[in-house]
Amino acid sequence: MASNLRTRVQEGWQQTLRGILEQARSLGSQAVLAFDLDSTLFDNRPRQARIVREFGLAQAVEKLSACEPRHWDSGFDMRGAMLNCGLSSEEAEAHFTALRTFWLERFFTSEYCVDDVAHQGAAPFTHAVVATGAHLAYVTGRHEGMRPGTVECMRRNGLAVPGEGRVHLLMKPTEREDDDAFKRTAHARLGELGRLIAAFDNEPTHANDYLRRFPEAKVVHLATDHSGRPVVLLDEIVSVPHFSFEP
């Protein structure tokens, strides 16, 4: 599913990003741009690989202890990553439940999210947004307990940091809250900041929700990876491979 969405990227996608920045400059502080984090601005594969390596060391599974980001080539497909590390299908299935538990205890924490790396062009694009005078709102399914690690990762990767200028970070109050429901409630908070002119997200469900709630905004889908839910993107949504382009 994730690979199929990459085929939506059309020639000239860079003009969409240019147009968004031009509109932001024209509106200044009245404009709001919303950005998801995971698989939109950030590549989570280094975090994923670290967790698998630590599991491999703890369980003496040598092939998993050598896991690298490149082994995660299908989003959150843990079985696929284990196969890419060299395990057989039977071995992967035998370790899956224990690894899943190990992963859940670590992935959604500040300690591990600092390993994320910015997608191509993400950092300069956030600063280009800030330079327009618009509000930049990071809207993420991460919970408040991950705020310290998230902000530190932004600093490490050179992204615009919350608290500087008109930069905001909207996070779930607790880990238990549903990501989809939280993002929908965040729409109201975005409306309080000003006029949402653009939203960026890798999840088709969230991108579609943005367009339905803000039909005049430009919604941009990052064709990286996603949860794999069989959701069709609305036709008006533009897919881009990354944020790197000549302004």
CATH number at residue 24: 3.40.50.1000
Task: Please tell me whether residues 39 and 140 are part of one structural domain.
Answer: yes
Task: Please tell me whether residues 208 and 93 are part of one structural domain.
Answer: no
Out of 67, 92, 113, pick the residue that ends a domain.
Answer: 113
Task: Please tell me whether residues 134 and 35 are part of one structural domain.
Answer: yes
Nearest alpha carbon to residue 129 among 161, 170, 155: 161
Highest mean pLDDT among 32-41, 70-79, 162-171, 221-230: 32-41
Out of 78, 113, 148, pick the residue that ends a domain.
Answer: 113
- In degrees to the nearest 10, what's the CA dihedral of 208, 209, 213, 214? -50
Question: Residue 9: which domain range?
Answer: 2-44+117-240
Q: Does residue 247 surpass a pLDDT of 70? A: no
Residue 171: is it exposed, middle or buried by C-beta count within 10 angstroms (0-12/13-18/19+)?
buried
Q: Which two tokens stand for residue 234?
A: 């609305």
| Residue-level pLDDT at 186 | 95
Task: Please tell me whether residues 38 and 104 are part of one structural domain.
Answer: no
Please report whether residue 229 resides in a domain.
yes
Task: Please tell me whether residues 12 and 132 are part of one structural domain.
Answer: yes
Label residue 4 by pLDDT band (50, 70, 90): low
Token look-up 């993107």 returns 233
Please report whether residue 247 resides in a domain.
no
Q: Which two tokens stand for residue 225?
A: 């990876």
What contacts 94, CB < 8 A, 6 or more positions away?
none
Euclidean distance between CA atoms 220 and 114, whole angstroms: 25
Full-model pTM: 0.93
Q: Over the stretch 153-177, which tens digit does the pLDDT of each residue have?
A: 999 999 999 988 899 999 999 999 9
Task: Please tell me whether residues 124 and 99 are part of one structural domain.
Answer: no
Up-side HSE of residue 76: CA atoms within 13 Å toward CB?
12
Please report whether residue 191 resides in a domain.
yes
Q: Does residue 2 surpass a pLDDT of 50? A: no
Out of 56, 87, 113, pick the residue that ends a domain.
Answer: 113
Task: Please tell me whether residues 128 and 32 are part of one structural domain.
Answer: yes
Q: Are 61 and 55 in contact (CB under 8 A)?
A: yes
Task: Please tell me whether residues 141 and 219 are part of one structural domain.
Answer: yes
CA distances from 142 to 44, 126, 147, 166, 200 (A): 13, 19, 8, 20, 16
Q: How many domains does the chain have?
A: 2
